[in-house]
């Protein structure tokens, strides 16, 4: 049999993709999920992220391990991200500076793994998949929540948070070449309305409703879904970040066998 073994085509190893969803401060659960994946020996050569998922995804794609990511998360000061009056949209420079602190002026081509982040162009009213140029700038665009941050102007586009159209980018991970996609949703309770008539509350509730609709598609399009129940935590505050990481870790551990089953097919 050994004589003919060289003529036998080896089975192609499946490419595992990771889709990290948006959710603001609830993104701390992403860090716990990645720790669980690392402990199980799982790596993701393809990563797609939206909003906070873009921040975590970029660092992971650059080669940061789970401990690096947790240390980075602990060191974040939310006041450095949202600058200016609370009721006025801030420039997204705080987000860009945060990512630049860890990755410098790194470009997409310098990453260890394939990575894309999702934004929405207000001029053309369409999704933009960012895979080129400066990572910190691209990630800031993916995180620019309307009404909270000003749009990021890039290449003639006015870019805002990708969650407006694609908050759990499983389809983007497939476009990058993933055979199977593991999605991490850190905000499964999104979509709540409001009885308030204030401009801010109305805007926020409208955005939640929109993202809930497109999140349903992202969840359904995942081969394995890690759903971290974080309804008791704020999307805008760091309070309880350790518990959020633990919830993400436990949610991911429950799906490890299902992920390994995909790779064994």
Question: pLDDT tens digit string along 210-248?
Answer: 778 899 999 999 999 999 999 899 888 899 999 999 999
CB 179 within 8 A of CB 141: no
Backbone angles phi, psi at 20, to 5 degrees: -105, 120
Instruction: Please compute Rg for the chain using Cα positions.
Output: 18
| Percent of the chain residues past pLDDT 70, beyond the cut | 94
Q: pLDDT digits over 2-43, tens only?
A: 544 555 556 688 999 999 999 999 999 999 999 999 999 999
Token pair for residue 228?
């971290």
Give the DSSP H/E element, type plus range, for residue 240.
none
Which one from 121, 161, 171, 223 is the annotated catalytic residue?
161
| pLDDT higher than 90, residue 103 | yes
E-only strand ranges, the chain:
16-20, 46-50, 114-121, 126-130, 152-154, 157-161, 180-185, 224-227
Say if strands 114-121 and 157-161 run parallel, antiparallel, or are unpaired. Answer: antiparallel
Place of tokens 């999307």: 235
Compute the distance between CA of residue 114 and CA of residue 183 in angstroms, rounded to an integer: 16
Compute the distance between CA of residue 201 and CA of residue 197 in angstroms, rounded to an integer: 7
CB 161 within 8 A of CB 144: yes
Q: Decide if 51 is catalytic.
A: yes
Which one from 51, 66, 140, 142 is the annotated catalytic residue?
51
């Amino acid at each position: 049999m050994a004589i003919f073994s060289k003529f036998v085509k080896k089975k192609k190893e499946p490419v595992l993709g990771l889709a990290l969803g948006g959710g603001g401060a609830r993104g701390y659960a992403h860090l716990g999920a990645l720790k669980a994946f690392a402990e199980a020996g799982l790596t993701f050569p393809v990563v797609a992220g939206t909003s906070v998922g873009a921040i975590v995804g970029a660092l992971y794609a650059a080669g940061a391990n789970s401990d690096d990511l947790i240390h980075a998360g602990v060191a974040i000061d939310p006041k450095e991200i949202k600058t200016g009056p609370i009721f006025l949209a801030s420039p997204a420079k705080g987000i860009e500076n945060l990512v630049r602190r860890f990755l410098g002026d790194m470009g997409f081509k310098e990453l260890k793994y394939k990575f894309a982040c999702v934004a929405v162009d207000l001029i053309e009213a369409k999704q933009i998949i960012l895979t080129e140029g400066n990572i910190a700038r691209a990630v800031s665009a993916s995180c620019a929540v309307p009404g909270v941050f000003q749009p990021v102007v890039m290449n003639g586009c006015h870019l805002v948070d990708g969650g407006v159209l694609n908050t759990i980018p499983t389809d983007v991970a497939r476009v990058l070449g993933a055979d199977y996609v593991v999605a991490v949703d850190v905000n499964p309770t999104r979509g709540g309305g409001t009885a308030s008539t204030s401009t801010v509350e109305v805007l926020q509730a409208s955005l939640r409703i929109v993202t809930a609709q497109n999140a349903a598609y992202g969840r359904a399009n995942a081969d394995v879904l890690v759903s971290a129940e974080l309804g008791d935590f704020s999307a805008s505050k760091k309070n309880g970040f350790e518990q959020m990481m633990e919830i993400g870790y436990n949610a991911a551990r429950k799906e490890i066998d299902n992920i390994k089953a995909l790779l064994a097919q």
